[in-house]
Amino acid sequence: MNIFLAGATGSMGQKVVHLLADKDGYDIAGILTSKTDVNPSDYDLADDVKVFTSLDDIEGDYDVWIDFTQPNIVFDNIKYAIEHHISPIVGTSGLSEDQKHELISLADSENVNGLIAANFGLSAVLLMQFAQQAAKYFSDVEVIEMHHEDKTDSPSGTAIHTVDMMSETKQGENINQEDEPARGMYYKGVPVHAVRLPGYVAHEQVLFGGPGEALTIRQDSFDRESFMQGVWVALEKLPEIHGLVDGLENIL
Protein backbone atom coordinates (compact mmCIF):
# COMPACT_ATOMS: atom_id res chain seq x y z
CA MET A 1 0.00 0.00 0.00
CA ASN A 2 1.53 3.29 -1.12
CA ILE A 3 0.99 6.01 1.47
CA PHE A 4 1.04 9.75 0.83
CA LEU A 5 1.69 11.59 4.10
CA ALA A 6 0.71 15.26 4.25
CA GLY A 7 2.45 16.98 7.13
CA ALA A 8 5.21 14.39 7.37
CA THR A 9 7.71 16.79 8.93
CA GLY A 10 5.37 17.88 11.73
CA SER A 11 4.99 16.35 15.20
CA MET A 12 2.06 14.10 14.29
CA GLY A 13 3.47 13.30 10.86
CA GLN A 14 6.67 12.05 12.45
CA LYS A 15 4.68 9.75 14.72
CA VAL A 16 3.04 8.26 11.62
CA VAL A 17 6.47 7.79 10.00
CA HIS A 18 7.64 5.80 13.03
CA LEU A 19 4.35 3.86 13.21
CA LEU A 20 4.71 2.61 9.63
CA ALA A 21 8.47 2.04 9.74
CA ASP A 22 8.08 -1.58 10.85
CA LYS A 23 4.75 -2.36 9.18
CA ASP A 24 5.11 -4.68 6.21
CA GLY A 25 3.19 -3.61 3.13
CA TYR A 26 2.78 0.04 4.14
CA ASP A 27 5.25 2.28 2.35
CA ILE A 28 5.39 6.06 2.57
CA ALA A 29 6.04 6.91 -1.07
CA GLY A 30 5.30 10.65 -1.10
CA ILE A 31 4.98 13.53 1.35
CA LEU A 32 3.62 17.07 1.40
CA THR A 33 5.41 19.61 3.57
CA SER A 34 5.62 23.36 3.96
CA LYS A 35 9.36 23.09 4.54
CA THR A 36 11.75 23.66 1.66
CA ASP A 37 14.93 21.69 0.85
CA VAL A 38 13.79 18.67 2.89
CA ASN A 39 16.25 15.80 3.18
CA PRO A 40 14.01 12.71 3.73
CA SER A 41 16.60 10.94 5.89
CA ASP A 42 16.47 13.83 8.38
CA TYR A 43 12.85 12.84 9.05
CA ASP A 44 13.44 9.06 9.13
CA LEU A 45 12.04 8.64 5.63
CA ALA A 46 13.46 6.55 2.80
CA ASP A 47 15.77 8.40 0.45
CA ASP A 48 13.52 7.70 -2.54
CA VAL A 49 10.42 9.32 -0.99
CA LYS A 50 8.98 12.00 -3.27
CA VAL A 51 8.82 15.39 -1.56
CA PHE A 52 6.27 18.04 -2.60
CA THR A 53 5.53 21.50 -1.26
CA SER A 54 2.29 22.19 -3.16
CA LEU A 55 -0.68 20.22 -4.48
CA ASP A 56 0.05 21.33 -8.04
CA ASP A 57 3.41 19.55 -8.01
CA ILE A 58 2.25 16.15 -6.78
CA GLU A 59 2.82 13.19 -9.07
CA GLY A 60 2.82 9.44 -8.61
CA ASP A 61 0.32 6.74 -7.68
CA TYR A 62 -0.89 6.51 -4.08
CA ASP A 63 -3.48 4.37 -2.31
CA VAL A 64 -3.95 6.30 0.94
CA TRP A 65 -3.57 9.97 1.88
CA ILE A 66 -2.86 10.49 5.60
CA ASP A 67 -3.29 14.14 6.60
CA PHE A 68 -1.88 15.83 9.70
CA THR A 69 -1.46 19.39 8.45
CA GLN A 70 -3.24 22.66 9.31
CA PRO A 71 -6.91 23.73 9.38
CA ASN A 72 -6.38 26.35 6.64
CA ILE A 73 -5.24 23.78 4.04
CA VAL A 74 -6.86 20.48 5.03
CA PHE A 75 -10.02 20.99 2.95
CA ASP A 76 -8.08 21.55 -0.28
CA ASN A 77 -5.81 18.61 0.56
CA ILE A 78 -8.66 16.15 1.03
CA LYS A 79 -10.56 17.45 -1.98
CA TYR A 80 -7.41 16.83 -4.06
CA ALA A 81 -7.04 13.30 -2.64
CA ILE A 82 -10.64 12.36 -3.39
CA GLU A 83 -10.54 13.81 -6.90
CA HIS A 84 -7.41 11.71 -7.55
CA HIS A 85 -9.02 8.59 -6.06
CA ILE A 86 -6.71 8.42 -3.05
CA SER A 87 -8.42 7.21 0.15
CA PRO A 88 -8.04 9.90 2.84
CA ILE A 89 -7.42 9.32 6.53
CA VAL A 90 -7.74 12.75 8.08
CA GLY A 91 -6.45 13.70 11.52
CA THR A 92 -6.31 17.43 10.89
CA SER A 93 -9.11 19.26 12.70
CA GLY A 94 -10.78 22.50 11.66
CA LEU A 95 -13.10 21.30 8.90
CA SER A 96 -16.50 22.98 9.10
CA GLU A 97 -19.71 20.99 8.87
CA ASP A 98 -20.33 22.39 5.38
CA GLN A 99 -16.85 21.35 4.28
CA LYS A 100 -17.34 17.85 5.69
CA HIS A 101 -20.65 17.48 3.88
CA GLU A 102 -19.06 18.64 0.61
CA LEU A 103 -16.20 16.17 0.96
CA ILE A 104 -18.54 13.31 1.90
CA SER A 105 -20.69 14.05 -1.14
CA LEU A 106 -17.63 14.26 -3.38
CA ALA A 107 -16.31 10.95 -2.02
CA ASP A 108 -19.66 9.31 -2.79
CA SER A 109 -19.64 10.60 -6.36
CA GLU A 110 -16.03 9.51 -6.89
CA ASN A 111 -16.56 6.16 -5.12
CA VAL A 112 -13.71 6.90 -2.70
CA ASN A 113 -13.62 5.53 0.86
CA GLY A 114 -11.92 7.13 3.85
CA LEU A 115 -12.14 8.53 7.36
CA ILE A 116 -12.24 11.95 9.02
CA ALA A 117 -11.39 11.65 12.73
CA ALA A 118 -11.70 14.50 15.20
CA ASN A 119 -9.38 12.50 17.44
CA PHE A 120 -7.47 9.24 16.94
CA GLY A 121 -7.02 8.67 20.66
CA LEU A 122 -9.14 5.76 21.86
CA SER A 123 -9.64 7.42 25.26
CA ALA A 124 -11.04 10.49 23.50
CA VAL A 125 -13.41 8.37 21.41
CA LEU A 126 -14.64 6.61 24.54
CA LEU A 127 -15.14 9.97 26.28
CA MET A 128 -17.40 11.07 23.41
CA GLN A 129 -19.42 7.88 23.63
CA PHE A 130 -19.77 8.12 27.43
CA ALA A 131 -20.77 11.79 27.17
CA GLN A 132 -23.38 10.90 24.56
CA GLN A 133 -24.92 8.42 26.99
CA ALA A 134 -24.81 10.88 29.91
CA ALA A 135 -26.52 13.58 27.81
CA LYS A 136 -29.67 11.45 27.84
CA TYR A 137 -30.04 12.19 31.54
CA PHE A 138 -28.36 15.59 32.08
CA SER A 139 -29.47 18.68 30.16
CA ASP A 140 -26.87 21.04 31.71
CA VAL A 141 -23.36 20.52 30.41
CA GLU A 142 -20.18 22.41 29.62
CA VAL A 143 -17.03 21.29 27.81
CA ILE A 144 -13.44 22.30 28.54
CA GLU A 145 -10.72 21.31 26.09
CA MET A 146 -7.03 21.91 26.77
CA HIS A 147 -4.27 21.70 24.17
CA HIS A 148 -0.69 22.74 23.51
CA GLU A 149 0.00 26.37 22.69
CA ASP A 150 0.63 25.69 18.97
CA LYS A 151 -2.85 24.34 18.22
CA THR A 152 -4.39 26.89 15.87
CA ASP A 153 -8.08 25.91 15.77
CA SER A 154 -10.28 26.72 18.73
CA PRO A 155 -12.43 25.06 19.98
CA SER A 156 -10.87 21.76 19.02
CA GLY A 157 -12.43 19.35 16.57
CA THR A 158 -12.73 16.84 19.42
CA ALA A 159 -14.83 19.25 21.50
CA ILE A 160 -17.05 20.07 18.51
CA HIS A 161 -17.53 16.37 17.72
CA THR A 162 -18.33 15.65 21.37
CA VAL A 163 -21.15 18.21 21.32
CA ASP A 164 -22.39 16.86 17.98
CA MET A 165 -22.69 13.40 19.50
CA MET A 166 -24.41 14.68 22.65
CA SER A 167 -26.87 16.72 20.59
CA GLU A 168 -28.00 13.54 18.82
CA THR A 169 -29.62 12.29 22.03
CA LYS A 170 -33.21 13.11 22.90
CA GLN A 171 -32.25 15.13 25.97
CA GLY A 172 -29.45 16.77 24.03
CA GLU A 173 -31.94 18.65 21.91
CA ASN A 174 -32.59 20.92 24.90
CA ILE A 175 -29.06 21.23 26.24
CA ASN A 176 -28.48 24.62 27.93
CA GLN A 177 -29.66 27.96 26.57
CA GLU A 178 -27.85 30.58 24.50
CA ASP A 179 -29.00 33.56 26.57
CA GLU A 180 -25.59 34.66 27.86
CA PRO A 181 -22.12 34.82 26.26
CA ALA A 182 -20.04 31.74 26.98
CA ARG A 183 -16.55 32.01 28.40
CA GLY A 184 -15.30 30.73 25.07
CA MET A 185 -18.11 30.08 22.60
CA TYR A 186 -21.47 28.38 22.39
CA TYR A 187 -21.79 25.45 20.04
CA LYS A 188 -25.29 23.99 19.67
CA GLY A 189 -26.18 25.59 22.99
CA VAL A 190 -23.22 24.12 24.88
CA PRO A 191 -20.52 26.43 26.33
CA VAL A 192 -17.15 25.18 25.06
CA HIS A 193 -13.98 26.56 26.60
CA ALA A 194 -10.55 26.34 24.97
CA VAL A 195 -7.24 26.41 26.86
CA ARG A 196 -3.90 26.75 25.04
CA LEU A 197 -0.87 26.34 27.31
CA PRO A 198 2.68 24.97 27.14
CA GLY A 199 3.03 21.54 28.68
CA TYR A 200 -0.38 20.31 27.52
CA VAL A 201 -0.90 17.86 24.65
CA ALA A 202 -4.63 17.08 24.31
CA HIS A 203 -7.18 16.92 27.14
CA GLU A 204 -10.92 17.25 27.44
CA GLN A 205 -13.49 17.43 30.22
CA VAL A 206 -17.25 17.17 29.87
CA LEU A 207 -19.01 18.46 32.99
CA PHE A 208 -22.66 17.62 33.67
CA GLY A 209 -24.67 19.13 36.50
CA GLY A 210 -28.02 18.20 38.00
CA PRO A 211 -29.95 18.78 41.23
CA GLY A 212 -27.62 17.73 44.04
CA GLU A 213 -25.12 15.91 41.81
CA ALA A 214 -22.48 16.32 39.13
CA LEU A 215 -20.70 14.09 36.64
CA THR A 216 -17.28 14.78 35.13
CA ILE A 217 -15.87 12.74 32.25
CA ARG A 218 -12.23 13.45 31.41
CA GLN A 219 -9.58 12.08 29.10
CA ASP A 220 -5.89 12.97 28.84
CA SER A 221 -3.42 12.38 26.04
CA PHE A 222 0.04 12.90 27.48
CA ASP A 223 1.95 11.91 24.35
CA ARG A 224 1.11 12.06 20.64
CA GLU A 225 2.00 8.38 20.50
CA SER A 226 -1.45 7.76 21.97
CA PHE A 227 -3.05 8.72 18.65
CA MET A 228 -1.19 6.11 16.63
CA GLN A 229 -3.34 3.17 17.72
CA GLY A 230 -6.32 4.92 16.15
CA VAL A 231 -4.40 5.64 12.95
CA TRP A 232 -3.44 1.98 12.70
CA VAL A 233 -7.04 0.90 13.27
CA ALA A 234 -8.12 3.24 10.44
CA LEU A 235 -5.56 1.76 8.06
CA GLU A 236 -6.56 -1.80 8.91
CA LYS A 237 -10.29 -1.05 8.64
CA LEU A 238 -10.01 0.97 5.42
CA PRO A 239 -10.99 -1.95 3.13
CA GLU A 240 -14.26 -2.27 5.09
CA ILE A 241 -15.18 1.43 5.00
CA HIS A 242 -17.85 2.64 2.59
CA GLY A 243 -17.75 6.31 1.65
CA LEU A 244 -16.08 9.04 3.71
CA VAL A 245 -16.90 8.31 7.37
CA ASP A 246 -16.88 11.07 10.00
CA GLY A 247 -15.68 9.80 13.38
CA LEU A 248 -13.34 6.98 14.45
CA GLU A 249 -16.11 5.62 16.70
CA ASN A 250 -18.06 4.65 13.59
CA ILE A 251 -15.47 2.07 12.49
CA LEU A 252 -14.51 0.58 15.87
Annotated catalytic sites, by residue?
147, 151
118 is in an annotated binding site: yes
Pairwise CA distance, residues 160 & 79, whole Å: 22
User: How do 190-196 and 185-187 pair as beta strands?
Assistant: antiparallel
234 is in an annotated binding site: no
Which stretches within 43-190 are classed as H helix?
Answer: 71-83, 97-110, 122-134, 157-167
120 is in an annotated binding site: yes
212 is in an annotated binding site: no
9 is in an annotated binding site: yes
11 is in an annotated binding site: yes
8 is in an annotated binding site: yes
Q: Kindly give, in sequence order, each residue whose CB lies less than 8 Å from that of residue 79, ignoring residues fewer than 6 positions away.
A: 102, 103, 106
1 is in an annotated binding site: no
117 is in an annotated binding site: yes
User: Within 13 Å of residue 17, how many CA atoms lie on the same side as its CB?
Assistant: 21
Pairwise CA distance, residues 200 & 196, whole Å: 8
119 is in an annotated binding site: yes
User: CB atoms < 10 A from the CB of 169, how many?
Assistant: 16
Q: Are 159 and 204 in contact (CB under 8 A)?
A: yes
Binding-site positions for NADP(+): 35
Binding-site positions for NAD(+): 7-12, 91-93, 117-120
Binding-site positions: 7-12, 35, 91-93, 117-120, 148, 157-158
Binding-site positions for (S)-2,3,4,5-tetrahydrodipicolinate: 148, 157-158
